Amino acid sequence: MNPQKIARVTGILFVITFIASIPPVLFLYGPLLDDPRYILGGGAADNGASLGALLELILIIANIGTAVVLYPVVKRVNEILALGFVTARVIESVFIGVGLLIILSMVTLRQEAAAGADASSLLAVGQSLVALQSWTFLLGPGFVVGVGNGLILGYLMYRSALVPRGLAMLGLIAGPVLLARFVGILFGVFEPTSVLGSLTVVPEFIWELSLGIWLIVKGFNPSAVASLPTTPDDGVLTGVE
């Protein structure tokens, strides 16, 4: 595939990840995760949970697609890091998938509660699942994204100049900030939904959205594409000079 087509497909996939990831977190999963007694209540939020699950399945496909589609180009920059980016995207998607299974399990347990299952036991299980889902989100989109989308992809874009280096610097800044956020939450310095916790995700949000839009509108820098090594082995050596 032509490198510019790769750029635009990658950009579209990045935009899809935003479209698919925001509604579940901000709107659709709220009744399940914010109310510990959801699992004992009515089924009004079940359809929202099912829609959120469908969107997250699309998110998983788009997540992995951004790395797989981009791989033929960035492996010419540094094949080791290009493979690392693919791996990071897969691991992130695994955490998202586990969180998705937790949501669907909560819906199933709520339906069992409606059928007369023991309420106190279901409530305890539901609270445990909410806590587990929160950690899958922090480890996947929270920690792994800082390494993969932030540091690795930011470096590949900066080193190759496939996009403006000023734009690529956003990734190199956003990655460490997101990692620092995870460490702060892990040690109880601040809460994920606190003002500081929310602000620390902004650089990564801007980096990924800006990259996606740039790749759709502008594509790769043609002169940077022309200067890439023609073989992956040369790319590895070039990437670690």
Domain coordinates of the chain in residue numbers?
Answer: 3-224
User: If we measure between CA atoms, which residue out of 132, 181, 143 comes closest to residue 33?
Assistant: 132
Question: How does pLDDT run across 23-36, given as a tens digit for each residue?
Answer: 998 889 988 888 87
Give long-range contacts, CB 8 A cutoff, 24+ apart: 80-84.
Answer: 80/236, 80/239, 81/152, 81/155, 81/156, 81/239, 82/156, 82/235, 84/148, 84/152
> Cα–Cα distances in Å, from 23 out to 29, 54, 68?
8, 11, 25
Answering whether pTM is above 0.75, one says: yes
pLDDT at 23: 94
pLDDT at 62: 98
pLDDT at 10: 98
Residue 77: Cβ-neighbour burial (10 angstroms; 0-12, 13-18, 19+): buried
What are the residue ranges in the chain where pLDDT is below 50?
234-241
pLDDT at 42: 66
